[in-house]
Structure 1
Amino acid sequence: MILEKAKRNYIPQELNMDWHALEPIFNELLNREINSVNELEKWLKDKSEVEAALEEDFAWRYIKMSCDTANEDLVKSFQYFATEIEPKIAPIGNDLNKKLNDSPFVKDLDQDKYFVYLRGIRKALELFREKNIPLQTELQVEQQKYQGITGAMSVTLNGQEYTLEQAANFLKDLNRETRQEAWEAITARRLEDKDKLDGLFNKLKDLRHEVALNAGFDNFRDYMFQALGRFDYTPQDCFDFHDAIEKEVVPLLSAQAEERKSLLKLDSLKPWDTEVDTSGKAALIPFNNGEELIEKATNCFNKLDSYLGSRLEIMKANGLFDVESRKGKAPGGYNYPLSETGAPFIFMNSANSFRDLTTMVHEGGHAVHTFLTANLELNDFKHCPSEVAELASMSMELISMDHWDEFFKDEEELKRAKRYQLKDVLKTLPWVAVVDSFQHWIYTNPTHTVEERTKAWTNIFNRFGANFVDWSEHQEALENLWQKQLHIFEVPFYYIEYAIAQLGAIAVWKNYKENPTKGLAKYMEALKLGYTKDMKTIYETAGIKFNFSADYIKELMDFVKSELEKLD
């Protein structure tokens, strides 16, 4: 099936993405007379069509730049949109929001259908400040520099050059000296750019604080809670969540670290001892190349549900994957929705490791979400908060495990893979607490020095177990671990969502284990809602609670522990 963009009903099928072509379209929307609720809904659909076209154009600029960060033309194309298009759209976008909010017919819209959307529009109006437009443009350009710095990183091991993702495979080697050599090479390469990344972050932090002050907030943390639409929880809820993770999860991981140390017959665990298999077996190799990864993931999804597998088949047929690691490619992985096409692009850095399998099914969950929301009436209905978006992806990591025999034909290897996955689920929670707690500190202490930031990071990291290893000889590496977290640079305050969604995903998986057909159906029904309902309703539709209390965390951790015991 070859995909085609949705037929445009308002703007030309072919439209140059420059201001000369766009300005008349925005002016028509701004000046159009609206004399009934039907005309208002038609206006909303036309506005949505413009937004979808712009989003897809921007998506491709970002995707192409990520795939080749060294290509100056692709970087300039991205920067053109960020500096020449977005700053001109922002004030008119605010005027369009005002036009909608002030319309006498807005009260006649179906409030059940439009409640969440209108709530977001009103919040955007509250936060908009004209003087923030150039600052947000500068932030777009500066944030992109993180990709350029980290995408250029590589190391040489045994006379061969590797990207950092590829080199990380050596951390699973049974030979401890090999692991140590790889870890030290990766760490030394990261530290080469420590000062450059500190300087970049200082600039980002100062710009973000200025945006917050302009919008009438004391700090960027409080601004972002509003900007991210966190209507369902507060900073204090996050602090309580951190406390619950420290109480309920950190002791579990501490016990696992002691067991690891004993099984490996070591006096102390070092940072290069956390990934090797304690059974003494070589690292799992679930596939041999990117092509095989896509094929096996598709088969796995097909076994879950033919609709799910067919979505990955459509993506492959349309060239919507770039999965293998190479020098010059941006780090990390993502699923980028293409708003007009109704499908996504999956980007990742596969090095044929087990973690690449989990990345693929994670991004595959996002991809399914993109397809399930493609036909929602307004483009904004598809813009889910991260707590919902990550529920889609993290749940897929767990519910797909029943069909990981596509990757592991040997029963014992399959069990090992599932054990890895469940232990990774547990490890996710303290790391999220560390990153989230650190960001709260950063932005509520906006005048901090690099030295103060380093001390704060170290204290927070140690509070949550410091990865349960001995860092005594590698203090500088510990102090700069935060620099490897892309989100801190590129999408500030986007991280607690992973922990909230991880709890939700465990609950989805629990439902699935009890009744696969019903559990999967509820999961997909929740995803189909997009962001047409509030977050709690979406979680309830999935058959789970939007809850991150200590009692609920304990209940879900007990379930994971019981599932781990079944694999022994």
Structure 2
Amino acid sequence: MKFSDMKYERPELDAIKRQYIEITRQFPDCSTASEQYDLILQHEKLMSNFQSMGTIAYIRNSINTVDPFYEKEIAFFDSNNPVFEESVQNFYKVIVASKFRPELEQKTGKLFFKNLEISMRSFSPAVIDLKKKENALVTEYEKLLASAKIEFSGETLNLSEIQKYQISSDRPTRKAAWEKTAGFFIENSKRLDEIYDELVQNRTSQAKILGYNNYVQLGYDRLGRNCYGPDEVKQFRDQVAKDLVPVITEIKKSQAKRLGLPDLKFYDDKSLFPDGNPNPKGDRQALVNQAQKMYRQMNPLTGEFFDFMVKNELFDLDSKKGKAGGGYCTEIPDYRSPFIFSNFNGTAGDVEVLTHEAGHAFASYLSQSMPILELRTPTMDAAETHSMSMELFSRKWDPLFFEEQTDKFYLYQLEEAINFIPYGCLVDEFQTTMYEKPNLSPDERKHVWKELEAKYRPWINFDHLPFFEDGGGYQRQHHIYSFPLYYIDYCLAQTAALEFWIASEKDWDESFSRYLTFVKAGGSKTYEELVKAAGLEYPMDQGCVKHMSEPIMDWFRRHA
């Protein structure tokens, strides 16, 4: 079904609660595991419908943030998601206590129960009001960023649209675009400071109520992390600081030389070539057509998937006024449909959407036959491996998008991929520090960000650029406000994706076959199990980052 034809109805929460009360009451009295499994499937149907309606409302609100109808619907879900979650958690309690647990585990797998136990300890009715407030603050933040109207070069631009000027081949234009962007954040800095402080205090209060020392472990539990904790992530970040940052510092020296500059300023960091970064050929429809051709050639499954996306118009890609910034992939389980949202701006990022977000969508498409929603999607470290790996597996088809600029894009893509990892670690260490020290002032928070910039991106010179020079850069990173502690998943995934790419350089078909095995498993295995089953080195293991970076540096020496 086309997305435009998907019917939205606000869920009748009272009716849903009554149904949950009934299946929760019946569950312990069942005389067989089969009867209990049937009740689990009833729960899956209830959850699928509630999530589907919430997702449709979210997408339509993202497409037009000033639509009053969906603005009200988002407010409904902000307020009632925690109420729905209470019903779900009550049902999880009786599942975990099942007298037929061994028999149920034969149908669901043991990880299903482990994940429920993690979910249960991260929720209590006592935090519902705090979660409602948290949701409202996140929505306010996203709306504030979406409201940006930046006057530049005779145009009125949002934060997505101005990005093309931030990477202009003309250095004064780049600098001016970043100064204008800084102006928007300076103008709104007081409220951005307040929103973040309220979020940190809110999440810390939730953690204390639930018996955690601080929000860090609660955040991990809410992300469903089931095979590692903050200590292992710190070890990974330490590897990056020790083994990868010096490597990228050398890459950045080569970039400065390529640009004819003595050193890189902040506004040069994303500009990799003196004549401008590679841009794809054609408008949005042309790029989608080329992507369809690519996926049909790549594999029968990827072709079937992308044809489904095109037929059902499961994209909204053009940037327009009133549209939320950024990009994402989500899924609408009742319609067994992924959906890709983005803001095309004529840069290489447009193609990256058609590979990265399509990697998420492909995994979602393959998982739709799984009856248990909780097992369709793995933890986000694995989910981001789906997407980041697809970006790199698609390199064989990059000439379709970039034509004579393909070689330039090859270099651009790999530099961006490896350069991202230290930035992601910066974001993660910043957030971890914020929740370990929740009472820092706004100025102290900015000081921490500035110190971490020097640790993870020592090549950056801010050149007295307002806002960014003072450590305010974290306020433009959506995940810090909206998806706490998520960002390290990108770093772990990028590491695994680069391992897949290294293998694909030797044997693309064999590497892609292992990738398909990884994706088809959905959420039935932990991240560690998925990585090792795919024959990859686990990012947490000492030496992994160094082993990954060495063949990439060899490639740069041959091609840069």
Report the TM-score range of the alignment, normalised by the length of the smaller protein: over 0.9
Q: Give the superposition deviation at 1:231.
A: 2.6
Describe the SS at the equivalent of 2:317.
Answer: strand
- Kindly provide the amino acid, as one letter, of the partner of residue 31 in structure 1: R
- Kindly provide the amino acid, as one letter, of the partner of residue 90 in structure 1: E
| Partner Cα distance (2:429, 2:503) in 1 | 31
Number of the residue aligned with 2:260: 265
Number of the residue aligned with 2:499: 507
- Classify 1:511/1:258 alpha carbon distance in 2 versus 1 (closer, same or farther; 3 Å): closer
Ranges in structure 1 where 5+ consecutive residues have no aligned partner: 7-12
- Tell whether the 8 Å contact from 1:298 to 1:310 is kept in structure 2 after alignment: no
- Kindly provide the amino acid, as one letter, of the partner of residue 245 in structure 1: V
Q: Give the superposition deviation at 1:316.
A: 1.9
> Structure 1 residue 44 and structure 2 residue 33: aligned?
no
- Kindly provide the amino acid, as one letter, of the partner of residue 346 in structure 1: I
> Structure 1 residue 132 and structure 2 residue 127: aligned?
yes
- Classify 1:2/1:146 alpha carbon distance in 2 versus 1 (closer, same or farther; 3 Å): closer
Describe the SS at the equivalent of 2:340.
Answer: strand
> Structure 1 residue 214 and structure 2 residue 209: aligned?
yes
- Kindly provide the amino acid, as one letter, of the partner of residue 68 in structure 2: E
| Partner Cα distance (2:455, 2:520) in 1 | 39
Q: 1:524 aligns with which of 513, 516, 526?
A: 516
- Tell whether the 8 Å contact from 2:331 to 2:337 is kept in structure 1 after alignment: yes
Q: Give the superposition deviation at 1:73.
A: 2.1
- Kindly provide the amino acid, as one letter, of the partner of residue 512 in structure 2: L
- Tell whether the 8 Å contact from 1:261 to 1:267 is kept in structure 2 after alignment: yes
> Structure 1 residue 161 and structure 2 residue 156: aligned?
yes
Show CA shifts across 1:27-58 (max 9, x none): 33122241101111111111111111111111
Out of 493-502 and 19-28, give the one that drifted further. Answer: 19-28
Number of the residue aligned with 1:284: 278
> Structure 1 residue 474 and structure 2 residue 465: aligned?
yes
Describe the SS at the equivalent of 1:348.
Answer: strand
- Tell whether the 8 Å contact from 2:504 to 2:510 is kept in structure 1 after alignment: yes
Out of 362-371 and 30-39, give the one that drifted further. Answer: 30-39
- Tell whether the 8 Å contact from 1:65 to 1:74 is kept in structure 2 after alignment: yes
Q: 2:232 aligns with which of 233, 237, 253?
A: 237
Number of the residue aligned with 1:81: 77
| Partner Cα distance (1:363, 1:15) in 2 | 27
Out of 175-184 and 114-123, give the one that drifted further. Answer: 175-184
Q: Give the superposition deviation at 1:15.
A: 7.6
Equivalences for residues 538-553 of structure 1 within 5 A: 538-553=530-545
- Tell whether the 8 Å contact from 2:2 to 2:312 is kept in structure 1 after alignment: yes
- Tell whether the 8 Å contact from 1:432 to 1:495 is kept in structure 2 after alignment: yes
- Kindly provide the amino acid, as one letter, of the partner of residue 476 in structure 1: F
- Classify 1:477/1:547 alpha carbon distance in 2 versus 1 (closer, same or farther; 3 Å): closer
Number of the residue aligned with 2:336: 342
Ranges in structure 2 where 5+ consecutive residues have no aligned partner: none
> Structure 1 residue 380 and structure 2 residue 374: aligned?
yes
Number of the residue aligned with 2:140: 145
> Structure 1 residue 365 and structure 2 residue 359: aligned?
yes
Across the aligned residues of Structure 1 and Structure 2, the Cα RMSD in angstroms comes to: 2.2
| Partner Cα distance (2:4, 2:263) in 1 | 57
Number of the residue aligned with 1:418: 410
Describe the SS at the equivalent of 2:331.
Answer: strand
- Kindly provide the amino acid, as one letter, of the partner of residue 465 in structure 1: R
- Classify 1:124/1:485 alpha carbon distance in 2 versus 1 (closer, same or farther; 3 Å): same
- Tell whether the 8 Å contact from 1:285 to 1:352 is kept in structure 2 after alignment: yes
- Tell whether the 8 Å contact from 2:538 to 2:544 is kept in structure 1 after alignment: no
Q: 1:66 aligns with which of 35, 55, 62?
A: 62
- Tell whether the 8 Å contact from 2:3 to 2:314 is kept in structure 1 after alignment: no
- Classify 1:346/1:2 alpha carbon distance in 2 versus 1 (closer, same or farther; 3 Å): closer
| Partner Cα distance (1:307, 1:352) in 2 | 29
Equivalences for residues 109-120 of structure 1 within 5 A: 109-111=104-106, 113-120=108-115
| Partner Cα distance (2:4, 2:197) in 1 | 43
| Partner Cα distance (1:446, 1:494) in 2 | 18
| Partner Cα distance (1:36, 1:224) in 2 | 36
Number of the residue aligned with 1:9: none
Equivalences for residues 303-322 of structure 1 within 5 A: 303-322=297-316
Identity %: 22
- Tell whether the 8 Å contact from 1:2 to 1:314 is kept in structure 2 after alignment: no
- Classify 1:65/1:556 alpha carbon distance in 2 versus 1 (closer, same or farther; 3 Å): same
Show CA shifts across 1:403-461 (max 9, x none): 11110222xx1110010000001111110110000011000001111121111111111
Q: Give the superposition deviation at 1:193.
A: 1.3
Show CA shifts across 1:278-323 (max 9, x none): 3x32442203322222222222222211321331221122121011
Show CA shifts across 1:332-382 (max 9, x none): 110001112222110011101012211221001001000111111211111
Q: Give the superposition deviation at 1:112.
A: 7.8
- Classify 1:317/1:475 alpha carbon distance in 2 versus 1 (closer, same or farther; 3 Å): same
- Classify 1:529/1:275 alpha carbon distance in 2 versus 1 (closer, same or farther; 3 Å): same
Equivalences for residues 475-490 of structure 1 within 5 A: 476-478=467-469, 479-490=471-482
Q: 1:301 aligns with which of 284, 292, 295?
A: 295
- Classify 1:359/1:564 alpha carbon distance in 2 versus 1 (closer, same or farther; 3 Å): farther
Q: 1:459 aligns with which of 451, 458, 462?
A: 451
Q: So what's the TM-score if we normalise by structure 2? A: 0.95
| Partner Cα distance (1:267, 1:87) in 2 | 53
Matched residue count:
557
- Kindly provide the amino acid, as one letter, of the partner of residue 230 in structure 1: R
Show CA shifts across 1:452-509 (max 9, x none): 111111111111125x232241263231111111001111010111111111111122
- Tell whether the 8 Å contact from 2:272 to 2:412 is kept in structure 1 after alignment: no
| Partner Cα distance (1:173, 1:81) in 2 | 40
- Kindly provide the amino acid, as one letter, of the partner of residue 320 in structure 1: L
Number of the residue aligned with 1:35: 31
